[in-house]
Each structure stands twice: as structure tokens, then as C-alpha cells.
Structure 1
Amino acid sequence: MLETLSSAGEVAFFYVVPALVVLTVVVFIHELGHFLVARWCGVEISTFSIGFGRELFGFDDRHGTRWRVSAIPLGGYVKFVGDENGASFPDPEVLAATTPEERAGLFHFKPVWQRAAVVFAGPFANFILAVVLFAAVFGTIGKPVTTPLVEIVNPGSAAEEAGFKPGDTIVAIDGSRVETFTDVQRVVALASGETLHFTVERDGREIALTATPQRQEIPDGLGGTQRIGVLGVSRAADVKLERFGPIGAIGEGMRETYVVVERTLTYVGRIFRGRENADQLSGPLRVAQVSGVVAESGGIPGLVHLAAILSVSIGLLNLFPVPMLDGGHLVFYLIEAIRGRPLGPRAQEMGFRIGFALVIMLFVFVTFNDIVRMTGI
């Protein structure tokens, strides 16, 4: 019995705790973005919550905002005075009872550009956090750098069919320059079944090769598998860590953030085009599993890198045009700016109901994916 409790405690410490730390930091920065811009715009804020549900502990600041940590640590929200809930859906009764003086501090009576700025500030803060975290890793630990030099061409692979040879250096894919072997892997992984045009340097001259990466299922290093495009070449064993100065680290952080956004949008686009299966999408259980493995093998730097990737993902997800998410609010504000007046309460309520249903469906779907991948059923 004691051994079972000890084992459960170890699982909680090595998996749940790192995941909660990473998720809490990312969510806090997201909500802080909303909060700071709202405060700058003179919006009265009633609640800043990390998590949902019952409050565990909190305090009131001098502006009357309740800062709280809640029982369900799967997100957070900033609630403005006049909101019906944490999704910033207006409370008609409260808004109708306000005086002209009180309306000056209410979010729903602010100019549309200010409301849009407040909403966009959350995802934007996530992107800023990602740049800072990537830069911190690249400036202290360094960034793994490998030359895109082909060392081995696997027999029967897409690379062999295309005419790749050992000693080739890949310099561009579809006209875009590549600097490292990692750049090559990132492009190829999301291009299974698609024709790619490579420019390689061989014996001092550049030649053009055309290859179609093959879809393969490979271990993901976490006890499961992932399906990606594979070219069939191996790199030269010259991996080194390159450290950057403050300016260079910020530049690399911005580049890495852009790469994560591009890869995510490419993958989502391939799902809608029927080129990828959505069973590779992950949810909170997968985040916990990955956090535990990263904390054990990569330590603090690994968790920082994971937090950066998660921050980009959350920022990007919130910009999708789904009612209830930040992107849905921005769509409503765009419509309002074009029409000169907001959508009616009924239309907005219907939109939020649809958005809520979509978010719940997505959460259930990715959680099911997590269970399948972790249990192998």
C-alpha cells in the first residue's frame, strides 16, 4: 500500500507538477496581456483568475480587482465589470442599469478599437513570452546547430529515388533557403506525399532534385509514435550548441516563434485538406506527459523550451475565429467596425453558444487522442 502511494506521489511530482507550472506561467502571461491593456484603456476589472471553478485563495488589489487561483487549473480569465462570465459576454441587466458616468469604465462601452486591443493583447503576450523564453535558452544554453550535409542515403528511400548522394549539402527547399538539418526535417515532416523541390550543392555546383517524402510512423520518444514525412537521409554528426548575444538571441527567438506558428498552421491546413489525420492533436494529458519527460531528461532548460512552444500554441489557438475565443471576439468587432454598430444580443449569444460547443468538442477530442496514445488502445 505504501509503495503504491509512493509511486502515485512520484507520478504527481514528475508529471503533474511540471505541467501545472508550465501551464500556469503561460496562462498567467496571456491573461496579464488582457489585464494590462484593459487597465491602460481605463476598463474596470472585477476578477483576474488563474483556473476555473471554486476559488482556492486570492486577494483584492487597490483598484478593487480580485486576484484568485481557482480549483480547476486548465486556463484562466479576466472578468470585466459588466461581464456575465469569464468569456466577456455582456450582462444586459447590469449594463442597462448603469449611469453615463459608470459606463466610462465599462469594457462594453469602450470604442471598438480599444476592445479589439484588449482582446488581441492576450495572444500577443503569449508570442512575446515565447520569444523571450526561446531567447533565454539560446543565449544561455545555446541552440543546436547542424549543417544540412547528407551523410547517409537510405536504400529504397525517397531520397535515393530522387538522386541524393552522400556528401550533398541541402541549401534550399521550394526556393526557401535552409541553414540547418533541423530546417530540412521541419519542412519534410509536414510534407508527406507532397512533391518538394530541393537545391543541393554537390562538388562545388548547385543541382536541382525533386523528391516526395514518404509517410512513416516513428517513435516519438515518449512511448508512442507519430506519423511524419521522411526523406530517407541522415545528417553528418556535427551537432554543436551555438550561443547568441542578447540581440542575436532575441532574433533567433523571433525566428523560432515564427517557425512554430508556420508549422502549426501548415499542419492544421493539411488536416482540412485531408492530408493529415487529426488524431495527432494533443490535449492536457499529453502536455502533462511531455512535461514530465522533459523535466526528467531536459531539466529547467527543457521545460523553458516547452513553455515557449506551448505559449505559441495557446496564443495561436486563441486567435482562431471561433466565438468565445479571442479570435471570435475580434471577428465580432470587425463586423461592428464595418456595420457601424454591434451585432444584436441574440446573434452574439448564439455565436457564443456555438463557440462553447466547439471548444468543448475540441477538448473532448484531444483528451480522447491523449488517452489512445498513452494507453495504446
Structure 2
Amino acid sequence: MSIQLPGIHINQLMCCEIPGDEPIVKFINVLDPLKMPAGISVTKECNAMKIQITNNCHKTSRGSLSKIEVFDNQNDKEPKWETYLGSCIRCIAANRRKIVACCEDLTINCYDLKSGSRPLPPLLIEDLVSSLSISQEGHCLVLTKTGLIHMWHLESAKNILSRVSVRSLLSGKGTISSCNLSSSNQPIISLSDGRAYAYSMELQTWLQLSNPLDPVSGVGGDLRKKVSPMLPLASIQKSMPVHRNADMLPPGVLLSFLESQITATSVLQSTTEYKHWLLATVNHLLEKGPECRLRVILDDLMRAHRSKSSRPEENCLVVEMKFQDRHKFCIIVSFDNSASCTGCSTKNARYCIWEPIHRRGLRYY
């Protein structure tokens, strides 16, 4: 005679979805999964070469085959190499060395562009791909339809990011409009409402680059017009509002905007924009203050020069830009605001008399 123990038995347990996971699919409204047409060849140019994708090109007893063909030239009729996959190809991306193909069976397939050989077995992710990017350095970025980011360095076969969620970015009504890699191989997410974010590997969190919903962002309209719209940050901030009565606001509001622009351009490593916003900040501080903030910027110029000479291996954008343009920058600050320092206020005098010495250095008083 068997004894029935109290409590729940193993055969009574059932698998069910975790309540906390369910809203991820319903709440995140990311891009629709990419998909190529079936039975139709789709071509993609890659430098002088041509890549051609044909889904459902052959039928087998186990399903349909899809084909990747690579041609040396755009007008070639015969491919240099071809390969087949047992699943429908939804999207591809390529750089000068690699081709990446994402399939309906949730695999990511990588091929050498010149030979068609596989450097890696298929990579498996948890859902269909909504966005695919690959940099010339071999960084591959994938955004799934449920809002998770994966990133690998294909050349070294190493993982960089795994299952990083974009859920925290979708707090408003905006939806994801693009997911790309910056020139420094950082994931950049742009939303339909104009917001933009970069993911920091060091801080392991998202950094805000643009937010038109923030009232502070509208005070720099005239200054933004002086920057080419093709530059990294300017292209992201196209939908920034402009306050008509920005001059009526306290000076600290504009300073807050300028400092946010400096940090954003530093993240994007946009040298031209960094110089523009740094000079705009110095001009603002010379006119409105506070002096302590100006002291930090100018002291950083000298500190950057010293660290550059003592640590030549350092290759930070900020240090490099300040060192190379240090003389020119200080001359501009001096002459634009005080005409060779004549008429400088006592408050700003110590910062206006940086002067070149035989074009080799600066004297700091």
C-alpha cells in the first residue's frame, strides 16, 4: 500500500510563461522583422562586388533551399562562389571582408566575402531580426523584434554584448526607427520622436544623445544652424525644437544645453562638432560665467598637453583635439572677446592672456 505524501507532486507541475517576461513582447514596439521576398533574387552592392540572394530556389523533401551568390563585378553573369542555406534568408549585411545572413530559423550565418568559407558555425539567437549592421572593423550588431541587442566581433570570434534590452528607452510613444553602429562601433538607437541613445561598453548602460522632449534642448537653435547637418550628432538631432524666447531664459539654461552637446559629441567622437560646442561654451562662459567652469576647461587644455607628452600612447579624442588645436583655440578666445586682451574684465583677465611663445607653447597667468 503506497502512502500519498502531502503537497504538490512532480507530475502536477506545468511549464508556464513567467509573468515578468510577457510584457516584453507586448510592450516593446520595435521594427517589424526584416524579410526578403520568396522566389525572387535580391541584389546588394558591396564595393565593386555584387551579392545576390534567392529564397526558395530549390525544393527538397525536407523543405526549400535559399542561395547566396557573390559576383566579382556588378555586370558578371557567373558567380565567383555560391552557397546554400536550408532556411529562408530574411536580411543580409556585408563589409569588405564578411557577409552576414540572418535566417528564419533564428540563425546568423557568416561567410568570407572573397571565398565563401565559413569562419564560424551558425550563431543562434532567440528571435527574428529587426535590424542588422556590420562595421568595416568586423563588429556585427543585431536587434531582435522583441527588443534585445546582440553584438559580436566577427574577426576575433568574440561576444561583446548579449541580450541588452532596449525596453528602458521606450518610455514614451516613440518607436525604434533605426539601430546602427557609430564610427567607434557603439550601438546607436534612434526613436521616431527624435530621441537617440548610445550604449556605453564601459558604463554598461544607455547614454542619451538627443531628447527633443527635454525643454533645455530647444535653447541652442542658432548655434545648431552653424553645424553641418551631415555630422554625427547634428544628423541625430534634426528634430530638435527651437524656443523663440530663449534669450529670456537664465544663462544657466544655455550652459546646460552646451555641456550636454559636448558630452554627446565626445561619446560619438565627432571632432568637428566637439570643437564647435567647446568654443561656443567658452564664449558663453567668458560673457556670462561662472568663472569656475571656465577655469576647468582652460586648465584641461594644459593638462591635456602634459598628459599627451608624458603618455604618448594615449589616444583619447578629447586629449588629441585639445593638444593639436590648443594654440589656435586660445588665440580665438583671446582675440574674439578682448582684442588682444584690451578691455578684459578683472573677472576674466587671467583666462584671456594665454599667449603663444615663439609658436611653441603658451604662457599661463
TM-score by length of 1: 0.22
Bigger fraction of residues in strand: 2
Higher RCO (C-alpha 8 Å, min separation 6) = 1
TM-score by length of 2: 0.23
Bigger fraction of residues in helix: 1
Q: Whose radius of gyration is greater, 1 or 2? A: 2
